[in-house]
Structure 1
Amino acid sequence: MPEGKILKALSGFYYVMSEEGIVQCRGRGVFRKNKVTPLVGDEVVYQAENDSEGYILEVKERKNELLRPPIANVDQALLIFSAVEPSFSTALLNRFLVLVEYNNIQPVIVITKMDLTNENDREQIKRYSMDYRNIGYEVILTSSETEAGLEELYPHLEGKISVFAGQSGVGKSSLLNALKPDLDLKTDNISSHLGRGKHTTRHVELIKVGNGLVADTPGFSSLEFLEIEQEELNFCFPEFQRASENCKFRGCLHLAEPKCAVKMGVEEGSIPEYRYSDYKDFIQEIRERKPRY
């Protein structure tokens, strides 16, 4: 039986890329019965009815999956944040990083709209970039207008399934248009009243960019920590995880415990204070989360 990868899911149809080309498939009824929903990014086995139509028979094991947006087998997440319009938000970036780390997806931080910055903006972005690079994250500064930073971005896409994620209005579609001009994806300007853009992407689809596949997604519709337990949050902050090896207590939550290496790192300046502040807020949020039954 032929095999392929789902590039797009729309109105009950799955568009599968295989050696034979793109085949429009439906899912067999057995999926509904077994509560299996094929996702964009899935490797599947299908049965061809003719050259362009068929049925998906089997969904192969996934290495990861996101439910919002619905996509599987993601290699990396390009977290798209604008330097200005809307303003760069470390709190929102840290939230995205936790969710991506929890799902074992490699993050790359991409800061857009550098052409719109003034000197103060650039200094601030430079400081934040240094902080995140010191943690171990890749940070790329870009502009879709001037195409600055695009050459640095291309190699990261090679041979991978990448998700573009970030709040609306930061220029995800503009960046994709700059990377692949024939896409001509719809973009909307920022609403000055709301300080954010309108969603212009309606469904998840994998687009070939260079030798990689990129998902322009409608964004994470939920940024809540629904699955993460407070004991797991430390593992979503790489610099905390490294420092915690020197904490006095195993399983230290880095809150009120004595001789905590993470708190020591914050005091000494080796761990950014705003990262620790967000960590404490996230712990509180997890503790106040309503139980699900």
Structure 2
Amino acid sequence: EALPNDLIRRGMAVQGPDGKLKLTIEDYPYANDGLLIWDAIKEWASDYVKHYYPTAEDISGDEELQAWWTEVRTKGHEDKKDEPWWPVLDSHENLVQVLATIMWIPSGHHAAVNFGQYPYGGYFPNRPTIARQNIPLENGRQAMRAFVDDPEKVLLDTYPSQLQSFKVMFTLDLLSTHAPDEEYLGTQVEPAWTAEDGIRSAFDKLQGRLRDILEHIDERNEDPKRRNRHGPGVMPYTLLRPCDGNPFDEKSVMEMGIPNSISI
């Protein structure tokens, strides 16, 4: 699902009369940074499509493209193939929207929901995955008395065991790790692109825009007014921070960049 559509569906944004999105929570890092990345991806897709398909007729008349889209709908999503919301590939707008969505899901969207799992949830008292007993209030007066007498013991008896915690911590760490051969959004140039001046120029524009977004995100993380990403005990939001060089020079996996695909 395209990011703007996702935000509207979840009630996190509304579309104004001018067509622009207005966030219902202004300090929402995922949406704030995600929309910047979404716009950059969509512009790159638009430049690419316009280069190879000068007219709408070129799109609707491309048998290979249309066959691919039919396979996506009828084979890749067979359970949804008859839904009325599938776009028809008969215009630049529809093709760009489809391509941008396909690029966004395994890159920006996946980076945001996946690679922060260990940094945010690896410390188990912050986010325990199981409670081994009911809260004292549900167990009667004796349980409440035990909690008042020794709250630390009751909490430790309620939290997951060391073995349970370790298993989940290990899984979260594994899921939050980038592959050693990871490719990052806006960093690798396909050889075919260098042969086309128009495509190479469009990719250079994408890289420049991502550099601007990186600086913008860093500024936001230093803004004391943005309390969901700055302040005591608050982690800066870097899950959608583009790569700014060698990703392995970064101190945190969340600052390495946006992987181009889901590597599972």
More strand by share: 1
- Which structure is higher in RCO with an 8 Å CA cutoff and minimum separation 6? 2
Q: Please give the range of the TM-score, normalised by the shorter of the 2 chains.
A: under 0.3
> TM-score normalised to the size of structure 2?
0.24
Structure ranking higher in helix proportion: 2
